Structure 1
């Protein structure tokens, strides 16, 4: 970290103050912190949008904020990236883990070397300074299931996708959704275990084709990764099942828009990854400067204006629902 020392009076007074340790003056607001965001996967729309937020934060604050991510959704590659950042002695790491459990040891190492760590989509992480969540994950999963149930008329067979079986947030959404379905919509039936897309549209497409062959009465699909609903929609469109298989899940308009418009996708929900990126970096800078996040605090980011603090986890209220009727309002 670089400190900009204020000009002091010359001569003996300055020497006495410095030698006595009475004052090491710095302007924390002007300090340039090095904060690096490590995402699950580079090159997909979701994390491209998050990088826009990270760059905006850097431009607005003058902080040295940047984003990196592996070429595939691989926790081992994230571990290596974090090891490299530790070696570079960055001030803070913000991270969206592919597997929170796999990252715990390297994040503990970062904390041990005085690096602040802020997680996202990983409320179970122990070795963090804070974790920033866009909302309560169980409530979000129930919300998606309610939308799917209404689209399906409250009955019939359905399937669920997660980006990775180790993705903590995706599993929290889906687990809550399934529990909600069982309690509220007993005429609906989950046909298979959670299906892993590895965050790839092509994988979701191929696995949906298999689902449609195996379960010809399938009426619904819930996606978790941003590409899941699009891969599923393509398979449904090709099978001539538009309007017969309902699809809801997390995505962005830039990814899912054509299929919202044509009717293969009923609804997407999301939080703006750019705003999440800004929120994570703001929290990281606060931690570097010794400031605490408090319950009810306004982080100055839309969706994070009155956060709820539970232990180390910071919850916002940041999700939005998009259908073909309002998709024009969200051009990203």
Structure 2
């Protein structure tokens, strides 16, 4: 997940909605004899759903192949989310495919996988984008070739996919993490953010809302001193946590909106003199964070169920490939036991509200 931000970034993030992503359009180069204008037009129409009819009563097609392309393979978060996608596709009798890079910052690798999947003519691609714009040319080519494109966890530019499966409202996530830490700190003290990659769309959107939340009067005595980047790498995130505490000896709290980052930060705090003195919150999985909540290193954190996120992405991809939806606002589709979902503005489908985990409930969850 999954995260920090480079400046200047406040304006793009604050105008972003749960659709998460820059609205800068990237030109599509000619490919396979198609002109830039014709290819862009075809891809834009596919992304907006404006040129495609949809029949909510159409039968679910059989023989579909949906490829999941996470930010990073072998990342526990994406192993869980993509496993949810596999479960859904298996239940539907469709084929699940999983590809990706071992680095959370290898955008060139993601582009290469998209191109390969397009050549293979998979039915749909579900991708968690490492960068909001870097995949656009490849994804537009995929859509113009008939491949349906769903983003999940981290979005692209809105014209580069048909749907974005959002974990929860971006604004709710960003503001709630600040609120959690504020209550723990009695709304006073220096804080830092430990994010993943500087280009991570979801991270930047959430951080934008965090910065905006900190402008409210109740946070007047809380100061954001730095945004650090751990690149969703455990060792780098561990070192960044250590560096933050060395650079800011009066630091009182850290927000890490990435499952890899919050776990690494908790590991460092747990074995240091700062345990119980520097508070930590953010986005993590119960299984990763249980020990740190139980021993008092972390008071509370939040997340959604990543398996359900992947499951919803799979159902959405199949609905698109079956012609039951086109991605237009107001259309609905059923996602198995998850229920019925309505497509919002800019093709955003929201899983639900985040769950706060603390000592009182963390034992009830296993993911």
Fold-level match, TM-score > 0.5? yes
> 1:157–1:191: 8 Å Cα contact kept in structure 2?
yes
User: Is structure 2 residue 72 aligned with structure 1 residue 41?
Assistant: yes
Deviation at 1:311, TM superposition (A): 2.4
Counterpart CA distance in 1 for 2:149 and 2:333 is 20
Deviates more, 1:292-301 or 1:254-263: 292-301
Residue 319 (structure 1) aligns with: 354
Deviation at 1:80, TM superposition (A): 0.9
Residue 134 (structure 2) aligns with: 102
Counterpart CA distance in 1 for 2:125 and 2:265 is 34
Equivalent residue of 1:55, what SS?
Answer: helix
User: Is structure 2 residue 281 aligned with structure 1 residue 243?
Assistant: no
Counterpart CA distance in 2 for 1:302 and 1:190 is 41
- Identify the match of residue 165 of structure 1 among 169, 181, 198: 198
Equivalent residue of 2:277, what SS?
Answer: coil
User: Is structure 2 residue 151 aligned with structure 1 residue 116?
Assistant: no
Structure 1 runs, 4 residues or longer, greater than 6 Å off:
none
Residue 186 (structure 1) aligns with: 220
Unaligned stretches of 5+ residues in structure 2: 1-57
- Higher RCO structure, 1 or 2 (CA under 8 Å, sep 6+): 2
Residue 289 (structure 1) aligns with: 322
Equivalent residue of 1:182, what SS?
Answer: coil
Deviation at 1:241, TM superposition (A): 1.5
Deviation at 1:299, TM superposition (A): 3.3
> 1:229–1:265: 8 Å Cα contact kept in structure 2?
no
Deviation at 1:308, TM superposition (A): 5.2
> 2:165–2:349: 8 Å Cα contact kept in structure 1?
yes
Matches within 5 A, 1:13-28: 28=59
- Identify the match of residue 156 of structure 1 among 189, 192, 202: 189
CA distance 1:113–1:30, shift in 2 (3 Å): closer
CA distance 1:303–1:178, shift in 2 (3 Å): farther
Deviation at 1:260, TM superposition (A): 1.4
Equivalent residue of 2:214, what SS?
Answer: helix
Residue 335 (structure 2) aligns with: 300
Please provide the CA RMSD for this pair. 1.9
Counterpart CA distance in 1 for 2:331 and 2:355 is 21
Unaligned stretches of 5+ residues in structure 1: 1-26
Deviation at 1:101, TM superposition (A): 0.9
Residue 70 (structure 1) aligns with: 101
Residue 305 (structure 2) aligns with: 272
Equivalent residue of 1:171, what SS?
Answer: helix
> 1:42–1:48: 8 Å Cα contact kept in structure 2?
yes
Counterpart CA distance in 2 for 1:245 and 1:278 is 36
CA distance 1:295–1:76, shift in 2 (3 Å): same
Equivalent residue of 1:276, what SS?
Answer: helix
Deviation at 1:198, TM superposition (A): 0.8
Counterpart CA distance in 1 for 2:207 and 2:174 is 6
Residue 119 (structure 2) aligns with: 87
Residue 54 (structure 2) aligns with: none
Equivalent residue of 1:240, what SS?
Answer: coil
Deviates more, 1:149-158 or 1:311-320: 311-320
Q: Give the TM-score normalised by the residue count of structure 2.
A: 0.79
Deviates more, 1:288-297 or 1:86-95: 288-297
Q: Give the TM-score normalised by the residue count of structure 1.
A: 0.87
Counterpart CA distance in 2 for 1:115 and 1:299 is 21
CA distance 1:142–1:215, shift in 2 (3 Å): same
> 1:41–1:69: 8 Å Cα contact kept in structure 2?
yes
Deviation at 1:90, TM superposition (A): 0.6
CA distance 1:308–1:269, shift in 2 (3 Å): farther
Deviation at 1:318, TM superposition (A): 4.0
Counterpart CA distance in 2 for 1:190 and 1:283 is 38
> 1:123–1:313: 8 Å Cα contact kept in structure 2?
no
Counterpart CA distance in 2 for 1:111 and 1:189 is 44
